[in-house]
Chain A
């Protein structure tokens, strides 16, 4: 069994031993640390510096217990349980009076300077320090001395800093530096003036900074976006959700109050995100609260004076549906890799498979169907993030994962520590002993190799990097596969240096037991995807258990790949050849997929355009009927992540106004059309059932989560905690009558405080709470082993497993070497964690950190064009042209123009095509002007 925590090592190879706690024998595994063992056994021992994902360092001294030599020893000695390996016959007491006093003293020391500002602290109510204080029984202050104070820092739009609350557990710097690879947060000064912060005020550099909020056991680091609207953690209505901001599918726990989404927290999934999220996933949520949200249907009629938009009532919408569908219409549907399986499937049912288009460009569509085929049929399985974190060698081929699937980059950072674990094992240092491991292994890293068009934020831990155009990266990959297994085709004409690099990487992969090849659609190149598959398959031929992970563009790209449907280009051509007069566009902005002229022409041909979306887009402005679609926060549904895991998400907020899940609108259309399926598809469960029947790939999709009828002791799972306050008063300014609880017939969850208060099945966990544990650390109790999988297994269901033994039919089309074109540049996409994803850019905090449009060139190319950094040039590509400032990115290959992908304000460009760059004519420098000496 794999786990996220550092606790597993060669010591705990399932050797069970007996330890005595308060003279009662218990069975546990040898070699794990005593604190971990006791927590696993259900004992409460307070702790601060220990964390399942960070290991032990023995700094806070909070987890002290008493150890006895034997059953005759009555005196015993105080030990730190987190630093003590479990041995057979170990005899301890947790309740011993002396050690209990000591633990209370630790809290007393921490409280000497802690400001006791719980009434105004965002952490209060889910504060680990509060819990531990209560647990130790420390109550009264004995000291009257004044408390120390610090100056707080501005750390950017994500994380708020309040140093006075700090209890110096060192978790923040250990997480930020050792786990996340950040460099700009550190501990400064010494003795009782230690300070955790940056060397000066400024935005935290790490894209995983938001996890500080959950790592910090008290209110030093809190969610700055949540702070904007005061709320208490126990007043949040929460439900299990899945991040929509990339394809990794991290599990989240968003919370809402007063109809506003207030924050997103990590929801533990042992195989996906573990304990951590990226900042796009954590802070991208604010688009849900956007004042621009489409909340009512809009009807647009075109008349003599142009178009008039009016808000439409549900009667009007129904009438529109009836007019359109009742008498039969030829409709085509454009689905979306951002929308749930259910919404897409409903649309597919409405228009029929032959008229259903997946909402992906032709290029994306080809890539996704290629990846789906490779993962389903090839012998290399797609690894979970946990598998990636356990890999002992990683090759990244063509994908800038830090920007396209950030959480996977964090998993890679764990993977490079595998070598360290081997060294510690050899030195007999338990893996959980973080302090000792760190000193023993120094900079030892498992091999990571990165082949991408430009530098990445993982380069600092990479053994080597290779920078080339997508075609050359593919050739590089094909050559590695060939070096591993001669039957795989070879790329001819590699330079001597590249060739030796290829051999080096092949050797590194061959020597690994569990190598992982990480690639994706980032290069927009099928050859790169194929090359990655060849490598994994070649390794498989050699008997290595190689994982093959592809990062795909959107949160449900793979789901759409499994569902089928043509590309958007095919929709364009169908409209030319068919009599279709109605177009239904599901949560998709076509202008982001293709150039404006083509999309304009396409939309012009259609009589009735129905757009379902949550926020206005260029496409929605063309709609004749615009329907308010629910965001993830107001919807139930299922996404399939990049490994093929179907995961259910639930409504956080009840729907307001006319906002509803897209599939509900489409069911209305089905009804209007008199389609009998409408009645067989009136709920998530019913849609899933039909989907499972219609599409073999979704045979098991309903197993992703319990059915809506699921009850425990006849009760639903409440979305509101039992400590929820203000239920009767929060609407008192409108009406003194308490509103009726909103009925949620579609899921086993309830918009209520009432219901089952125990531990729900893993995919229905709405919060972490057990008596005495109000903070996120209560998660310990939800896991079958602390740090391990959730009780009942990790949420979600793998829709496919690659066959254990498959014959590798290598891809044989090796691309030709990339050759430059004089006077032209190859357009490649550059990704930005903050900027390349549509909805997160509506969130002010993310938008604040986003890049602005630019074109990236190497210094040499800039010289050729005679331009300097930030000079404005005109990029002309196909039908698109745009004036952009030049950014020098030296890591790019020459002859390549990097354009930021998906940034608002960027026009659509056809990537991997050639562009011209026109530099402005520079004014002649005046003779004797401002020449620098």
Chain B
């Protein structure tokens, strides 16, 4: 069965992305044209709701429902904002970079349609600090879009005005959290905000704001252009569309692929990534980047969509799989992950700010053979102490997913470190 790949259709690895003419020839800006000529803003939101496009940043919240929370009409507060979150700093994730570097106009078009749907005046693309090449290409696309009146005043004669610009992050993982992102965008410290109120009512500069993941936004032109039925038919499951899945680790062909939503991990691993490299055995995987639970072989046939992965005790997250093979120490891997989260904690709430460093130092001790059984118990207790609701935002709970699952799936590895007083992988 040949499946369509709307998101990556225009991507030509190794070659520069399509310019505005080439993009138009390939059917680009048709979605925008249609949106503006045939739909009222609310109708577009309705299309997106019905398409069941779920947030690709890992939250899995319906993009359309998020939009429908934006106050509309004459009395709605002004200015409204739409923001593409491309602060892709989740370890193991590179899908947004792949999409935007390969086809920047797709994101630009998606942003304009999103802006039109919520009647926003201004859009920002919040870009990870290290994505210099992405920024260059995106800037070219934005300039072209302005030159061709897809951006600016009275877009395509519709009376709709929309400005779009890039903001390059100062480089902290927490700025990918949608409210901390707003702080960073405003020039402040990236610290998550209390919810409620949600960004849709009190967002950037206190005004209604939609923050969507870049991949989510890239889906929008296609939904408008080709319709809900078509879009939902792309998926294996109830959750609409295709998904960019990726794998990093000891496989034959690490990379990213656009596949129907709900493709199994086994298919991704064996068909697309070419299976494990000679001499390496699959031990487990983080299916959705660093803030997801380890899954093992028994879950390889689970469909990788939000609902199924949650049922399997993990998260789809960003859909970019990080593999653990038998040549690597799981304690070392978890330590590496915790070091990342510990460093990226914003320092606002106590459990995250103080708990993560304690976990890191304890894991270091275990990894270096200085650990005790009590240390393992301490780590175990922290997985619930730093759970959802106990902390201000999702950073620390996300960090606990890998630790908690590693403690239950690779318990003997932890205990071996304690008993042998060294890392068994190190001679």
Contact = CB atoms under 8 A, between A and B. Distances in A.
A439 B193 contact: yes
A889 interface: no
Contact of B194 (A62, A78, A83, A113): A83
B202 A143 contact: no
Contacts of B342: 191-192
Given A190-B172, A191-B353, A192-B357, A61 B391 contact: yes
Choose among B344, B358, B378 the residue with the greatest number of A CB atoms under 10 Å from its CB.
Answer: B358
A428 to B, nearest CB: 8
Interface in A414-435: 427-429, 433, 435
Contact of A435 (B189, B193, B385): B193
Nearest to A142: B378
Contact of A113 (B348, B349, B354, B389): B354
A143 B385 contact: no
Interface residues of B, number: 35
A109 B344 CA distance: 18
A59 B348 CA distance: 6
Nearest to A111: B354
Interface string B175-192: 000000010000001000
Contacts of A64: 390
B272 to A, nearest CB: 37
Given A192-B345, A436-B194, A187 B189 contact: yes
Nearest to A429: B197
A135 interface: no
Contact of A105 (B206, B346, B385): B385
Interface string B313-346: 0000000000000000000000000000011111
Interface string B199-238: 0011001100000000000000000000000000000000
Contact of A191 (B343, B361, B390): B343
B350 interface: yes
Interface in B337-389: 342-351, 353-358, 361, 374, 378, 385, 389
B392 interface: yes
B202 A62 contact: no
Interface in A456-485: none
Contacts of A61: 349-351, 390-392
Nearest to A194: B347
Contacts of A190: 172, 189, 345-347
A191 B344 contact: yes
Contacts of A193: 347
Interface in A435-456: 435-436, 439-442
A58 B347 contact: no
A199 to B, nearest CB: 14
Contact of B206 (A77, A192, A439): A439
A145 interface: yes
B193 A112 contact: no
B279 interface: no
B14 interface: no
Contacts of B196: 429, 436
Contacts of A192: 342, 345, 347, 353-354, 356-357
A112 B358 contact: yes
A194 B348 CA distance: 9
A61 B346 CA distance: 15
A429 B202 contact: yes
A797 interface: no
A439 B202 contact: yes
A79 interface: yes
A109 B351 contact: yes
B197 A427 contact: yes
A191 B346 contact: yes
Given A106-B350, A191-B342, A191-B353, A436 B389 contact: no
A102 interface: yes
15 contacts: A58-B349, A58-B392, A59-B350, A77-B389, A106-B350, A142-B378, A145-B358, A189-B347, A191-B343, A192-B354, A429-B197, A433-B194, A435-B193, A439-B206, A440-B206
Interface of A: 57-62, 64, 77-79, 83, 102, 105-106, 109-110, 112-113, 142-143, 145, 167-168, 170, 187, 189-194, 427-429, 433, 435-436, 439-442
In order of increasing CB-CB distance, the 3 nearest A-B pairs are A109-B354, A194-B347, A191-B345
Given A58-B349, A187-B347, 9 more contacts: A77-B389, A106-B350, A112-B354, A190-B346, A192-B345, A192-B347, A427-B202, A429-B202, A439-B182
